[in-house]
Structure 1
Amino acid sequence: MKIGLYFGTFNPIHVGHLIIANHMAEHADLDQVWMVVTPHNPLKKKSTLLADHHRLEMVFLATEDFPKIKPSDIEFKLSQPNYTVNTLVHLEEKFPEHSFSLIMGEDNLRSFHKWKNYEAILAHHDIYVYPRIATTADPSENSIFKNHPKIHMIDAPVVEISSTSIRENIKKGKNVLPLLPSKVWEYIDHNNFYKK
């Protein structure tokens, strides 16, 4: 089975994440998309994250009606901080019957050459890239990957919703209902998350 791995802190998961995951599951040559909840992204302050099990529960609630999209806690068991190359090795050992690909935004592709052991990742795994609104970054930065046979540009919808702005708006008492799956909003509201 061909699995696309969509990594994120999902703090919280929102409809933008689901739009991308579902598009990849339905339109790329992937059998499933696993939403890998990252316990601690080396580039993010851990103090801003909800506890791992709460973020995993929100991903579970958001994806239970999507048979091709699965929550994954695979990184919870690995040493911190997590590096994608280590996660991929672990997954290949645990699930030898699957092949694993990465799903990332165009913005991440621009900095992919800075990832730990990125050459090894690219040698063994396909990468499915979804578009982001163009930034002022130099477009030549990702030219080393432009025609790479392992990199597939997917014409997915451009979705610019940020978990950060959702958290900020919840704190301000604004209505964020259109941005979250209803079960996720109920979970956040019930637990009083992001309110202070």
Structure 2
Amino acid sequence: MKIGLYFGSFNPIHIGHLVIANHLAEYSDLDQIWFVVTPHNPFKKKNSLLDNYQRLEMVYLATKDYAKLKPSDIEFNLPQPNYTVNTLAYLQDKHPDHEFALIMGEDNLKSFHKWKNYQVILENHHIYVYPRITKNIEASQFDGHEKIHAIDAPIMELSSTFIRKAIKARKNVEPMLPKNVWEYLDEMNFYR
């Protein structure tokens, strides 16, 4: 089975995440998409994150009705800060019958050469890149690489940061979130 790993803080997960993941599940050779909830990204401040299990619960609520989309807490028990190369090695060891690929936005590909052991990742895994609206798009050093696949997915310029700020400002963000995620956020009074 070929699994696409969609890493993120999902703070919160929103319809943009689901549209991209579903597109990859339906229009690529990936059999399933696992939403890997990251406990802490070494490049982000930790203080704005909801608890790991609250974010995992939102991912579970958002994906439970879609057979090809799965939540994953695989990084919760790995040493922190964790790096993608370590997670991939752990998953490959735990699931030797699966093939794992990375899913990332075009903007992340531009800094991929700064990732820990990025060459090891490229040697062993395919990368599926979804488009972003970016100004001054310059060619990436990875253009044309045989293991990097540009996906013609819908461009989703919706961010969790925007949603958190909008909730704090008492704006209606309900259409931007899966219904059961919105209900959970509202009930728990998150981001207010």
Q: TM-score range by the shorter chain?
A: over 0.9
- Pick the aligned partner of 2:165 from 159, 168, 172: 168
CA shift digits 1:76-133 (9 cap, x unpaired): 0101112000000000011111000000010000110111000000000000000000
Q: Distance in 1 between matches of 2:69 and 2:18?
A: 9
- Pick the aligned partner of 1:182 from 175, 179, 183: 179
Residues 1:149 and 2:159 are matched in the alignment: no
Q: How does 1:56-135 map to 2 (within 5 A)?
A: 56-135=56-135
Code of the aligned partner of 1:182: K
RMSD of aligned Cα (Å): 0.7
Q: Percent identity?
A: 67
Code of the aligned partner of 1:118: Y
Q: Report deviation, 1:135.
A: 2.7
Q: Distance in 2 between matches of 1:2 and 1:106?
A: 21
Q: Which residue of 1 aligns with 2:188?
A: 191
Show structure 1 runs of 4+ deviating over 3 A: none
TM-score (norm 2): 0.98
- Give unmatched runs, 5+ long, in structure 1: none
Q: Distance in 2 between matches of 1:97 and 1:11?
A: 31
- Give unmatched runs, 5+ long, in structure 2: none
TM-score (norm 1): 0.97
Q: Distance in 2 between matches of 1:65 and 1:110?
A: 34
| SS at structure 1 position matched to 2:75 | helix
Q: Distance in 1 between matches of 2:155 and 2:45?
A: 26
Q: Which residue of 2 aligns with 1:19?
A: 19
CA shift digits 1:122-165 (9 cap, x unpaired): 0000000000002335x13x1x2111100001100000001001
Q: Which residue of 2 aligns with 1:158?
A: 155
- Indicate the structure with greater helix content: 1
| SS at structure 2 position matched to 1:100 | strand
